[in-house]
Amino acid sequence: MPPVKTPQPFQFDEKVAAVFPDMIKRSVPGYNDIILQIQKLAGRFIKANSHAYDLGCSLGAASLAMSYGNQQHDVEIIGIDNSAAMLKQCQRNIDKFKLTTPISLQQEDILRVQFKSISMLVLNYTLQFIQPEQRLGLLNNIFDAMLPGAILLISEKIHFRDPKINQLMIELHHQFKRDNGYSELEISQKRSALEKVLLAETRDKHLQRLKEVGFNQVVCWHQQINFASFIAIKD
């Protein structure tokens, strides 16, 4: 048997970009449902003459969903990611479609973006990679650039305060991955690689921070095992 390599910290490089669409569907419970709902929400919330952002766009699934869902004129979808490998593959994906609402891609750290006239913003499994102490500042920046009635959607892996429940959810998630063809070794290597880069918080922490930012309408609208999705609407 070949020696087992020590896992390196997780990086969004070319190797990950190549297998990403398959990997995220097989490892994130509820992923497809959320992408479908992003399309529906885009139809309801995106306004004419505004911007819709997809932060940490990876291969562009949420950007494409917003482009397809949008019903308004003069809308720009902006996909942002700091991984050149992801964006290269993302541009190839987008080029395969004939889009009526254009998607433009930017390679940037989402902590440095100057947001403008937002009617919809998606952070689909991306906030979890931002240092916890920087999350409030990022959400404040987003809130300030949101138009009245705009929507923010955040999907995250979550943590549970009760240790037994937390352990149970981790095990159910690992079972989900095994059922989708991952081996024990792949699961444990991914777990150690992500340990320091993916910093999960509780569902209450997410809801409380969104209220602190200034959102009055906040809901956890989807949860499957230890993956949750939140919606916040600006008054």
- Judged by the rule CB under 6 A, the positions of this chain that interact with ligand GEK are 12, 24, 56-58, 61-62, 80-83, 86, 109-111, 124-126, 129-130
Minimal distance in Å, beta carbon 116 to ligand GEK? 17
Residue with smaller CB distance to ligand GEK, 86 or 158: 86
Q: Report d(CA 50, CA 75) in Å as an integer.
A: 5
Residues 6+ apart with CB under 8 A from 211: 218
Q: Are 131 and 199 in contact (CB under 8 A)?
A: yes
Q: Report d(CA 230, CA 145) in Å as an integer.
A: 19
Q: Report d(CA 155, CA 65) in Å as an integer.
A: 15
Residue with smaller CB distance to ligand GEK, 8 or 164: 8
Minimal distance in Å, beta carbon 154 to ligand GEK? 11
Residue with smaller CB distance to ligand GEK, 48 or 172: 172
Q: Report d(CA 142, CA 42) in Å as an integer.
A: 17
Residue with smaller CB distance to ligand GEK, 88 or 211: 88
Q: Are 70 and 182 in contact (CB under 8 A)?
A: no
Minimal distance in Å, beta carbon 73 to ligand GEK? 25
Whose CB is nearest to ligand GEK? 56
Minimal distance in Å, beta carbon 60 to ligand GEK? 8
Residue with smaller CB distance to ligand GEK, 53 or 125: 125
Residue with smaller CB distance to ligand GEK, 13 or 184: 13
Minimal distance in Å, beta carbon 101 to ligand GEK? 17
Residue with smaller CB distance to ligand GEK, 40 or 211: 40
174-181 contacts, C-beta under 8 A, 24 or more apart:
176/27, 176/29, 176/225, 177/26, 177/27, 180/25, 180/26, 180/27, 181/26
The tokens for 80 are 């942002």
E strand spans, 59-145? 75-81, 103-107, 118-124
Minimal distance in Å, beta carbon 111 to ligand GEK? 6
Minimal distance in Å, beta carbon 63 to ligand GEK? 9
The tokens for 42 are 């885009």
